[in-house]
Amino acid sequence: MNRPLACAVALAIATGLAGSFVTPPAYADNDKTSMPVPAAQDNPFFAESTLPLKYPAFDKIKDSDFGPAFDRGMVDQLKEVDVIANNPEPATFENTIVALEKSGQVLGRAATVFFNLTGADTNDTREKLQGDYAAKLSAHSDAISLNPKLFARIKSLHDQRQSLGLSAEGVRLIERYYTDFARAGANLTDAQKARIKAINAELATLGTKFNQNVLAEVNAAAVVVDTKAELAGLSDDQIAAAAEAAKARKLEGKYVIALLNTTGQPTLAQLENRALRERVYKASIGRGSHGGDFDNTGIVSQVLKLRAERAGIMGHPNHAAYVLEDETARNPEAVNAMMAQLAPRAVANAKREAVDMQAVIDAEQKANGQASFKLEPWDWSFYAEKVRQSRYKYDESQLQPYLEMKNVLENGVFFAAGKLYGLKFKQRTDLPVYHDDVTVYDVYDADGKQLAIFIADMYARRSKRGGAWMSEYVSQSGLTGNLPVVANHLNIPKPPAGEPTLMTWDEVTTMFHEFGHALHGMFSDVQYPRFSGTSVPRDFVEYPSQVNEMWADWPEVLANYAKHHKTGEPMPKALLDKVVAASKFNQGFTTTEYLGAAMLDQSYHQLGINQIPAGKDLIAFESAALKTNGTDFYAVPPRYRTTYFSHIMGGYSAGYYAYIWSEVLDADSVEWFKENGGLSRKNGDWFRAKLLSRGGSEDAMTTFRQFRGREPQIEPLLKRRGLTAH
């Protein structure tokens, strides 16, 4: 239930451009001060949206608007920065730091919408724009963060920050700007800066190509099935959806099993046809490494080399050391130690689980008069479900009729938020949306005032990247007066027209998880945009969302939403009890597949530049790294293999460990809620006041200690994942 989610919270490039340099991507030089400003036109990004809370005017936004808005936005911001950097007056907090916070509004609006849409609803035009502007936007970021005059002003304020009479948040803002600029290379020589710019321009282009390849091959690698009989084990609705998917590809009479971006695929738990399970599994793990248009091996190798080189220029032995210096973990040794403590226990549990499944296989084959076979990765989910049914007397199909999607959202997720925080939600249909599947809600605080607008985008589609994530279209700030506009994205298969959307339990907990991110954004109560919402370290950002998962099976919450979609009858308590009892089931697998990916991420990013494998050697390195890390159990592949590991090609490079690192805090916090009475306004208001509202305005671990009253303890996590037994 608490496995890492492909969440990956969406910090678009805009986050680092619209007046807040969140670990600025160190990108290439491109002096745009002489670039002609695009002529005035009816471009929705040239002025603030007039819709409520500055909600984007999706009905007025055309793909042709983005390029001109990027061009004008970059010109405008560089002019603003030039005024700040060359101000003849001595640097002050207002004329330097606050002025930077206010800069780049046109670019920020355009980039925020654009990069959110390339994740949620891309198309050929947007992909081309993404490729065309990746290096340009990177160069723009560097033109600011590597401006020596600007950095000199920031440094002078940093040197005297404690004597300026500022609030604690103001002092922290100066410190954060200084750190961000220094980490971008502001203290380097001119020659080093030039090389950093070139490296980051190339990284931006390579990263865009990698992500486009991943999405393209997820669609291209979908498995085509000739007959309905081969789909035995799937529900009628799933078969109908597979037929619809085939029809959309002009394959009438056939069936298409779409892939998610994870190694494991949901249908592997249901398909009775072992040969088809093997096809689905091999189609999944082969992505990005077969040669051809979508091969990512060369891209990954080059990205790793460039990151290692950049880290060296910055004075670090490797990319992981560079990244972790700015996280709560602080260094690779701390991350390695934590994962080394978990890996042997997880693999031992997984091997015990495999023995149970092999026994089921042997018994079934013997009963059928057939020779047994060895459990393989494509068999795991299928036989794990059989063991679950045997041990706990239920299967996923028994739960789904009680888990209709809108009911889960409104009477589960929203209900829990109401009980904890006093929030109320009202759907509205008058605001434009970027896709017909999107639903919009006003969010009201306990005092009746509007707190935010929430966008729910729950269905999978070919134009949408895999996984689940939260993003922001407008971030809260006292300086700007903005209130949040936040979005949650899932990838739930859309049923045929007229049929209900029935969720798996994993999808339910994912919905609660992502809404935890949304709450982090909606409850933000900071003055400066740089600190808004989820602007916290990556190894802390998953923590509040993981805490929110606890309410999915909280009795009062579950009773309010787990009702049969046809009869309205509540889920039987006996069934719920089985779900709760099974919460530690298969945790050996879940933890091992996660740690395999997390430790692989560290294995790559703890290499020096001369140790990076060439593209042709990447898969061999992956195998060796899994063995070295002790997570190479043949039946449990890593959750992501290198060539489709989108997290580490994006914002989670050297940071995929963050999910389990955050879960230490999460599990400890869940114990606090239970000790203090659980679902209550008192508890919710305390969590909100001490942690959720603070964003990045205070040190992350300080906010945890203020909430919890002490340092975190790992024992609740070990207990939750069934890792206490050796």
Instruction: Check if the beta carbon of residue 484 is closer than 8 Å to that of residue 475.
Output: yes
- Taking phi over 0 as left and psi of -120 to 50 as alpha, with beta for the rest, 562 belongs to beta
Instruction: Check if the beta carbon of residue 469 is closer than 8 Å to that of residue 7.
Output: yes
Stated as kind and residue range, the H or E segment containing 242 is: helix 236-248
Residues 6+ apart with CB under 8 A from 252: 246
CA angle 590, 596, 599 (to 5 degrees): 130
370 phi/psi in degrees, rounded to 5? -120, 155
| Residue 593 a catalytic site member | no
459, 530, 483: which is closest to 169 by C-alpha? 530
Give the Cα separation of 543 and 52 in Å (integer). 30
Instruction: Check if the beta carbon of residue 493 is closer than 8 Å to that of residue 238.
Output: yes
Helix (H, G, I), strand (E, B) or coil at 259: coil
Instruction: Check if the beta carbon of residue 474 is closer than 8 Å to that of residue 484.
Output: yes
The conformation of residue 303, written as its DSSP 8-state character, comes to H
402, 352, 281, 277: which is closest to 584 by C-alpha? 352
Instruction: Check if the beta carbon of residue 648 is closer than 8 Å to that of residue 604.
Output: yes
In 10 A of CB 610, how many CB atoms?
Answer: 7
Q: Which letter, b or e, does each residue of 147-176 get, where b requires 16 or more Cβ atoms within 10 Å of its Cβ?
A: beebbebbbebbeebeeeebeebbbbbbeb
Instruction: Check if the beta carbon of residue 14 is closer than 8 Å to that of residue 107.
Output: yes
- DSSP bridge partners of 255: 225
179 phi/psi in degrees, rounded to 5? -60, -45
The conformation of residue 722, written as its DSSP 8-state character, comes to T
The conformation of residue 549, written as its DSSP 8-state character, comes to G
Q: Which letter, b or e, does each residue of 441-470 get, where b requires 16 or more Cβ atoms within 10 Å of its Cβ?
A: bbbbeeeeeebbbbbbbbbbeebbbbbbbb
Give the Cα separation of 368 and 384 in Å (integer). 20
Residues 6+ apart with CB under 8 A from 443: 423, 424, 425, 450, 451, 452, 453, 454, 522
Instruction: Check if the beta carbon of residue 639 is closer than 8 Å to that of residue 594.
Output: yes
Based on its alpha-carbon atoms, the radius of gyration of the chain, rounded to whole angstroms, reads: 25
485 phi/psi in degrees, rounded to 5? -120, 110
CA angle 657, 264, 365 (to 5 degrees): 130
Q: Which of 169, 514, 622, 663 is catalytic?
A: 514
Residues belonging to the active site: 514
